[in-house]
Amino acid sequence: MRIGGGRAGWEGAVAGLVLLAAVLTGCGLGGDDYPDGTTTASQTELQAEVRQLLKERVRAVRRGDEAAFLDRLVDDPLLRRDQRDYFANLAQLPLARFGYALGEDAVTSAPGRITAQVDIVMELDGFDDAPVRTPTRMTFVREQDGVLRIVAARDEEYERERHAVPQPWDTVPVQIRQGSGVLGVFDRDSWRHADEIVDEVEQGIAEVSAELPDAWSRHVVVYALSDTSFLARLPDLPGGDPEQLDGVAFPVPIRPRADEYAGTRFLLHPRILERSPVMRSRLIRHELVHVALGRTDDRVPTWLSEGLAEYVSVRPLAPQERLISRDAVAAARNGLTGLPADATFNGQQSSANYGIAWYACEYIASVYGEAALWRLFDDMRADGGVSDADQDTVLVRVLGVDAATLARATGARILSVFG
């Protein structure tokens, strides 16, 4: 993940992202009245008025003016509370860009109701490579005083239909803790762990960087929340069950389902916050390897990407602290005839698979040298990558052995160390 440039100016963000138009002025809208007192307006005028309202919200964020941010809401205590929390979240984030993108014909009106399809545009300064656009739908009403006010600032059903993944700061109150190269996202219940988690991620960045052959940004966003609601919303979750994951690194597309990413972040399961620092730091290093390698480890067999993450994560530990699962040892005793397959890696045998993947990398580094391990990774990911079904060609070319032979050697090495 590349480190972004200097903090973008707010005025530039407003002009380039929020309104997609030149300077707009307030519109005094005339027209006929609906029976409920709502006033009609031409589509062009209404579009301009919504843009102006959104521009005022962006200016309120830029100025840190909570009162102005809440001013254009209807008098709804729940809405005002949620938007007050959202404003507090935004105030803590290092925003290079924030705004609303409103396309042509995005505003529609009906008696008593006006809706606008918008993209919330956000870029975290120093952590994102590009702005992230999250589609949502806002609802407005024109009150008796003629002022257009917000009834709903988001539409969760609309977001689900468009495969949007709102971030924690979009949905719940968060607490932000920044460190050197670290943006930690916590909530009220997990905040007590903020200092130790951020310190461990800082240390993990240094330790992982010392092991990787290539430089990376050394900047990361980590989520350490007290529940799994955000984790459960992530698409393509390994294994499909958030309760089975201790942590996960995930890409952040610039828009839903886009092939271009703003960066890679990682998340810790709530139970990990209570684990010992040694175990937690090992997991943090594992996820940091995925962040550092970014999309490149998506193009290699899962056993290699996960095995490398495990291999790097244990380097700072003394040999006697490098624990492996009992399931991996049991699998080795039963005899390994192949490396873990992509399709089932995170299934019922995931505990064994992680240990086997790790020790396949340990074996390669021990017998052929660590440089050969990274050369295998480079060759596996070259030219669009290779699947586990086609990996033997690369394995034979780099190491001189196929997957079955490597699996048997891996099992023997696990037994030689762990019995």
Q: Are 29 and 141 within one domain?
A: yes
Question: Given this model, what pLDDT does residue 42 score?
Answer: 82
Residue 8 CB coordination number (10 Å): 17
Cα four-point dihedral sign 59, 61, 62, 66: positive
Answer yes or no: is 5 within a domain.
no
Q: Are 81 and 129 within one domain?
A: yes
Q: Are 270 and 315 within one domain?
A: no
Question: Given this model, what pLDDT does residue 1 score?
Answer: 29
Q: Are 138 and 218 within one domain?
A: no
> Of how many residues is the chain composed?
419
The residues facing 132 across adjacent strands are 122
Q: Are 383 and 340 within one domain?
A: yes
Q: Are 282 and 360 within one domain?
A: no
Where are any strands of DSSP class E within 148-253? 148-152, 175-179, 182-186, 220-224, 247-253
Spell out the alpha helix ranges (H) of 1-42: 10-13
Answer yes or no: is 3 within a domain.
no
Q: Are 195 and 233 in contact (CB under 8 A)?
A: no
Question: Given this model, what pLDDT does residue 364 score?
Answer: 98
Question: Given this model, what pLDDT does residue 19 score?
Answer: 38
Q: What is the mean pLDDT of the chain?
A: 90
Q: Are 139 and 192 within one domain?
A: no
Question: Given this model, what pLDDT does residue 315 score?
Answer: 98
DSSP 248: E
Q: Are 75 and 185 within one domain?
A: no
Q: Are 291 and 309 within one domain?
A: no
Q: Are 394 and 406 in contact (CB under 8 A)?
A: no
With 90 as the cut, is the pLDDT of residue 26 above it?
A: no
Taking residues 182-194, what's their average pLDDT?
98
Question: Given this model, what pLDDT does residue 29 score?
Answer: 28
Answer yes or no: is 17 within a domain.
yes
With 80 as the cut, is the pLDDT of residue 90 above it?
A: yes
Per-residue pLDDT reduced to its tens digit, 380-411: 999 989 999 999 999 999 999 999 999 999 99
Among candidate residues 129, 164, 199, the one where a domain is terminated:
164
Taking residues 317-328, what's their average pLDDT?
96
Answer yes or no: is 278 within a domain.
yes
With 80 as the cut, is the pLDDT of residue 301 above it?
A: yes
Six token digits for residue 321: 């602290």
Question: Given this model, what pLDDT does residue 41 score?
Answer: 54
Unique residue bearing structure tokens 């990407």:
305
Q: Are 254 and 341 within one domain?
A: no
pLDDT band at 56 (very low <50, low <70, confident <90, very high): very high
Domain carrying residue 354: 300-419
Question: Given this model, what pLDDT does residue 112 score?
Answer: 85
Question: Given this model, what pLDDT does residue 419 score?
Answer: 87
Taking residues 61-85, what's their average pLDDT?
97
Taking residues 79-87, what's their average pLDDT?
98
Q: Are 30 and 147 within one domain?
A: yes
Question: Given this model, what pLDDT does residue 68 score?
Answer: 97
Unique residue bearing structure tokens 């994102």:
128
With 70 as the cut, is the pLDDT of residue 339 above it?
A: yes
Q: Are 265 and 249 in contact (CB under 8 A)?
A: yes
Give the residue with greater pLDDT, 225 vs 38: 225
Among candidate residues 114, 136, 164, the one where a domain is terminated:
164
Q: Are 145 and 224 within one domain?
A: no
With 50 as the cut, is the pLDDT of residue 153 above it?
A: yes
Among candidate residues 110, 129, 164, the one where a domain is terminated:
164
With 50 as the cut, is the pLDDT of residue 176 above it?
A: yes
Unique residue bearing structure tokens 């490396």:
339
Taking residues 162-168, what's their average pLDDT?
97
The total of structural domains in the chain comes to: 3
